[in-house]
Structure 1
Amino acid sequence: MSTQHAQRQYNVHEAKTNFSRILQLVETGEEVIISRAGQPVAKVVPLRPKVNRTDYGTLRGQVHIPEDFDELPDDIADAFGMR
């Protein structure tokens, strides 16, 4: 279940004045729209968290590569001049 936050909108002057507040909102998952003359020109969105992989094989059991993975279908091999 995802929680959807309402988007807030700031004009350029408000955005400069409230930059720290905007960052706090974004850190909690909100998206903030920056407008100029009433027209949206930018969206500030949260960055996706970095996944720290500590070892090889962290996706073991989650990914399946079929035995014929390296075999191209005839029509694709023909298109690349490989037959």
Structure 2
Amino acid sequence: MPPVTVLQAKSILSRLVRAVEEGSEREIIITRNGRPVARLVPFEAPSAEPRLGIAKGVFTVPEDLNARNAELAALFQGKADS
């Protein structure tokens, strides 16, 4: 498809979107004053790969991870002994 002016794109936008969505056009260039200013392309959704466990085996959790929870809570509450 040849480039489309902004005015043309405004009047046939739904048709342009449908063409890109259905794959009959890979991209549509929109021009203003003869210069390309925008490109209409199909939206590519990010892959829905599972993210849980991506760091499995990269590090180990210390056994005493929760040993200092009370001390940290006191620090956040401003109750720490100086």
Q: Structure 1 unaligned segments of length 5 or more: list them.
A: 1-6, 58-83
Q: Deviation string for 1:17-64 (max 9, x for gaps)?
A: 01101111221342010001111111111121332235757xxxxxxx
Aligned to 2:7: 13
* Alpha carbons of structure 1 residues 50 and 8: separation in structure 2 relative to 1, 3 Å: farther
Which is higher, the Rg of structure 1 or of structure 2?
2
- Output the TM-score relative to the length of structure 2: 0.50
- Output the TM-score relative to the length of structure 1: 0.50
Aligned residues: 52
Q: Give 1:12-51 correspondences, 5 Å limit.
A: 12-29=6-23, 30-51=26-47
Q: Quick one: percent identity of the two aligned structures?
A: 37
Q: Structure 2 unaligned segments of length 5 or more: list them.
A: 54-82
| Alpha-carbon RMSD | 2.3
